[in-house]
Amino acid sequence: MRILICEDSVLLREGLIRLLEHSGHEVVAAHPDTDGVAAAVRSETPELCILDVRLPPTFTDEGIRLARELRAEHPQLPVLVLSQYVEERYASELIAAQGGAFGYLLKDRVADVADFIDAVERIAGGATVLDPEVVAQLLNRRGRDDRMAALTDRERTVLSALAEGRSNQAIAGLLFLSEASVEKHITAIFQKLGLEPDEHGNRRVLAAIAHLESTGAVPAQNPTTPQSGASQ
C-alpha cells in the first residue's frame, strides 16, 4: 500500500515510516507540516494518508483543515488522523463530513504495532475505525436524548461495537450471539434512532455518531477496542 504521512514529530514520523515499511507498505512521502502535502497527494497518488491533528505553524487545527481539504479534493482517499488526546470537536467534524474511509486514533495506539497496522489496513480497505476513547465520548451520551434512552443495554453494546467498525460476525463472536440476533438488534437500534437502514454499514455508523454528537449531551467514559469494518 502507498502511504503519505504528515507528522511534525521527527521521532514519530520516522517510527511510522519504519513500522509501515517493515509491514510491507511503501511510504511515498513524509512531511513535517502541511506545505506541499496537497501537491504530493496529487503526484504520488497515495492509497492512504496519515495526518497529525496539530501541525506547524500554530499547532491547533492545521491537520484537521488539511484532512478536510484532502477529503474534498479526493473523496475516495482514505484518511487516518492521529491525535495526542481525544479532541471531540475535531473528531465529530470529520466523522460528519462526507468522504472516503476514515480513522481517528490516539497516538498511543501506535505502540500496539499489530493493532495499529491492522487498523491502517482496514481503513485503506474502506472501513471506519475510531479510537475507543472517541467512541466512548460520542456514543455513551444519555439523559437529553429520548431516542438513546430507548435503547436497551444490549443495544447500546451492539451500537458501540458497530460504531467501532466491527462486522456483524465480529459482534456476534464478541457478545456470544448469533449473527441473526445481531441483525435484529441493529435493526431495532436504527429504528429507535430514526435512521433508515441501507446497505452501507459505514454510512450508517457515521449517521448514528453524527446524530448522537448533535445532542450536545455530556460524554461519559467507557473505553472499548476498535475492530474490523461493519457489514450491516
The CATH number for 203's domain is 1.10.10.10
103-152 pLDDT tens trace:
889 998 898 899 899 999 989 988 888 887 777 666 554 434 566 778 88
Percent of the chain residues past pLDDT 90, beyond the cut = 41
If asked whether residues 207 and 101 sit together in one domain, one would say no
Tell which residue, 169, 150, 171, has the closest CA to residue 160.
171
Q: Please give the Cα distance from 151 to 99 (Å, whole number).
A: 29
pLDDT at 157 over 80: yes
DSSP secondary-structure letter at 199?
S
Tell which residue, 209, 204, 1, 35, has the closest CA to residue 119.
1
pTM, rounded to two decimals: 0.67
Compute φ and ψ for 213, nearest 5 degrees.
Answer: -65, -35
If asked whether residues 7 and 54 sit together in one domain, one would say yes
Residue 87 located in a structural domain = yes
Per-chain mean pLDDT for the chain: 79
Which residue among 119, 139, 159 closes a domain? Answer: 139
pLDDT on residue 158: 86
Residue 229 located in a structural domain = no
Local confidence band at 230 (pLDDT 50, 70, 90 cut-offs) = very low
Please indicate whether residue 36 or residue 205 has the higher confidence score (pLDDT).
36
Note down the domain range covering 40. Answer: 2-139
Number of domains, the chain: 2
38-91 pLDDT tens trace:
999 999 999 999 999 999 999 988 998 899 899 889 988 999 999 988 776 777
If asked whether residues 113 and 176 sit together in one domain, one would say no
